[in-house]
């Protein structure tokens, strides 16, 4: 029996689910969870201060970095995602880093080891995204104003030179945004917790610029107008009614077949990666059959024996028949998914009104304004978390050859 919470966020925060994917990963329960998340987000954006969700900002940092104390020997370390391998990979000395890493990555982790040891971490492990080390910060003139800029990945972050934040960044040897805390008696059994106030646990150092991804609506701008709230409520009600009409058994037939579920999600991602709007739901269901036939045919063509080919044909036929027998439910699922995506977009539009750091994309012709990467919604009562990302926009930037990435500089 699969645990719904494992779909919402893995025990180790190496991957997180998009809110609309909950319906494929968690079936009936996952869909209900997605609708409840959106209802709670509506309450928050209505001005309800007792909302059941917290919001954090997704920063487009790289690489992911961990810092903490190894429960086995009490020694401070920094690490990459290999921390949660069967044999944990952690760096406790400069020699450890030199042995495991090379080039720019080795330089960054050497700085991180020296600087983060100043934070006064006595126990636990913290995960964040590295935003820059000293040499990454540039001074750029944009629209006649000087900015400190840094670009760890796709998005360029820009801070006016003359501001207090700009002066902090100028002094720093490293920048990081913390977002996850781990506790446990061993590295292997540690569990993740999202939340606010991580930086308040650390000693301050002028050579470290850090934030904890907390979403702050200082201006009070992130609230729905009466018209927006009415539109959101109408769409959310429509999503609920569509969900109630769906056949639970057919829903489970699709979502509890792991291979079919993964193929459906990969098929949906072909639109995201191609920056294409989702078509009519009936066309999507028909397109899924074509996708399955094409995918399996490529695998069948690779096989050398008729026995192997027949085995793959049988696998194909099982999945295609399941889709054909449950096409009306797939159409309804795709329709519901599109409503969830549209509702998510309305939430993101509100949350984007209050960003503290300018976000840009870099092209050969200069900079262009873009949104933040996205947000994370955290269930304060149950502890789950989901991503709120405009996948089409961010994917367009991520995969476009016209956008210069941080690693290309």
Residue 163 lies in a domain: no
Cis amide bond preceding 63, omega within 30? yes
Query: 26 is in which domain, residue-wise?
Result: 4-57+221-350
Average of per-residue pLDDT across 142-146? 92
> Is the confidence at residue 382, as pLDDT, over 90?
no
- Is the model more confident about 396 or about 343? 343
Average of per-residue pLDDT across 148-163? 95
C-alpha pair distances (Å), 305 with each of 7, 199, 212, 297, 315: 38, 60, 56, 14, 16
Six token digits for residue 122? 């006595």
Confidence at 234, pLDDT banded by 50, 70, 90: very high
Phi then psi dihedrals of residue 226, to 5 deg? -60, -40
> Is the confidence at residue 96, as pLDDT, over 70?
yes
In this prediction, residue 15 carries a pLDDT of 59
3-class secondary structure, 78:
strand
In this prediction, residue 195 carries a pLDDT of 66
d(CA 19, CA 35): 9
Residue 159 lies in a domain: no
In this prediction, residue 2 carries a pLDDT of 37
Residue 86 lies in a domain: no
pLDDT digits over 354-370, tens only? Answer: 887 899 999 888 888 89
Phi then psi dihedrals of residue 365, to 5 deg? -95, 0
In this prediction, residue 197 carries a pLDDT of 81
Confidence at 247, pLDDT banded by 50, 70, 90: confident
**In degrees to the nearest 10, what's the CA dihedral of 165, 169, 172, 174?**
110
Residue 142 lies in a domain: no
Average of per-residue pLDDT across 326-337? 93
In this prediction, residue 137 carries a pLDDT of 97
In this prediction, residue 16 carries a pLDDT of 78
Confidence at 7, pLDDT banded by 50, 70, 90: very low
In this prediction, residue 220 carries a pLDDT of 65
Average of per-residue pLDDT across 332-355? 93
> Is the confidence at residue 3, as pLDDT, over 50?
no
- Tally of CB atoms within 10 A around 75: 10
C-alpha pair distances (Å), 393 with each of 152, 285, 338, 348, 405: 18, 24, 16, 12, 15
Residue 300 lies in a domain: yes
Residue 405 lies in a domain: no
CA angle, 40 as apex, 39 and 46 as ends, to 5°? 90
In this prediction, residue 125 carries a pLDDT of 97
> Is the confidence at residue 271, as pLDDT, over 60?
yes
Residue 287 lies in a domain: yes
107: burial class by Cβ within 10 Å (0-12, 13-18, 19+)?
middle
In this prediction, residue 11 carries a pLDDT of 47
Average of per-residue pLDDT across 267-279? 91
Number of H helices, E strands in the chain: 12, 15
Query: Beta strands 366-369 and 374-379: pairing type?
Result: unpaired
Residue 246 lies in a domain: yes
In this prediction, residue 72 carries a pLDDT of 95
Confidence at 181, pLDDT banded by 50, 70, 90: very high
- Tally of CB atoms within 10 A around 137: 20
pLDDT digits over 41-94, tens only? Answer: 999 898 776 777 888 888 999 999 999 999 999 999 999 999 999 889 999 999
In this prediction, residue 384 carries a pLDDT of 77
pLDDT digits over 204-219, tens only? Answer: 999 999 998 888 764 5
Six token digits for residue 191? 């569990």
> Per the structure, how many domains does the chain have?
1
Contact assessment for residue 127 and residue 64, using Cβ atoms and an 8 Å cutoff: yes
């Amino acid at each position: 029996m699969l645990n719904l919470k494992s779909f919402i966020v893995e025990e180790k925060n190496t991957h997180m689910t998009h809110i609309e994917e909950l319906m494929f990963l968690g079936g009936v329960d996952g869909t209900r969870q997605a609708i409840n998340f959106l209802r709670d987000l509506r309450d928050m954006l209505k001005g309800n201060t007792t909302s059941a969700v917290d919001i954090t900002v997704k920063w487009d940092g790289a690489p992911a970095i961990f810092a903490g104390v190894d429960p086995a020997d009490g020694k401070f370390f920094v690490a990459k995602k290999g921390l949660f391998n069967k044999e944990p990979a952690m760096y406790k000395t400069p020699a450890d880093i030199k042995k495991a890493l090379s080039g720019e990555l080795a330089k960054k982790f050497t700085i991180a080891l020296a600087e983060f040891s100043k934070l006064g971490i006595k126990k636990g492990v913290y995960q964040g995204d590295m935003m820059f080390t000293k040499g990454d910060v540039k001074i750029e003139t944009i629209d006649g104003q000087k900015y400190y800029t840094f670009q760890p990945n796709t998005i360029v972050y820009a801070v006016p030179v003359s501001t207090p934040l700009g002066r902090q960044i100028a002094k720093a040897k490293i920048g990081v945004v913390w977002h996850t805390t781990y506790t446990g008696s061993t590295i292997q059994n540690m569990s993740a917790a999202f939340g606010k106030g991580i930086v308040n646990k650390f000693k301050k150092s002028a050579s470290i610029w850090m934030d904890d991804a907390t979403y702050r609506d200082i201006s009070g701008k992130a609230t729905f107008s009466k018209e927006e709230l009415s539109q959101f409520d109408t769409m959310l009600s429509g999503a609920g009614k569509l969900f109630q009409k769906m056949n639970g058994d057919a829903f489970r037939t699709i979502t509890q077949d792991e291979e079919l579920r993964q193929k459906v999600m990969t098929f949906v991602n072909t639109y995201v990666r191609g920056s294409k709007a989702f078509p009519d739901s009936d066309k999507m269901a028909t397109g899924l059959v074509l996708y399955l036939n094409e995918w399996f045919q490529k695998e069948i063509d690779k096989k050398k024996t008729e026995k192997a080919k027949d085995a793959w044909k049988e696998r194909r036929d099982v999945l295609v028949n399941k889709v054909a027998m449950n096409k009306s439910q797939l159409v309804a699922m795709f329709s519901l998914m599109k409503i969830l995506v549209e509702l998510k977009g309305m939430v993101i539009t509100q949350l984007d009104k209050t960003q503290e750091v300018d976000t840009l994309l870099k092209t050969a012709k200069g900079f262009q304004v873009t949104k933040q990467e996205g947000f994370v919604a955290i269930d304060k009562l149950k502890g789950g978390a989901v991503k709120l990302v405009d996948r089409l926009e961010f994917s367009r930037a991520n995969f476009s050859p016209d956008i210069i990435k941080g690693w290309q500089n």
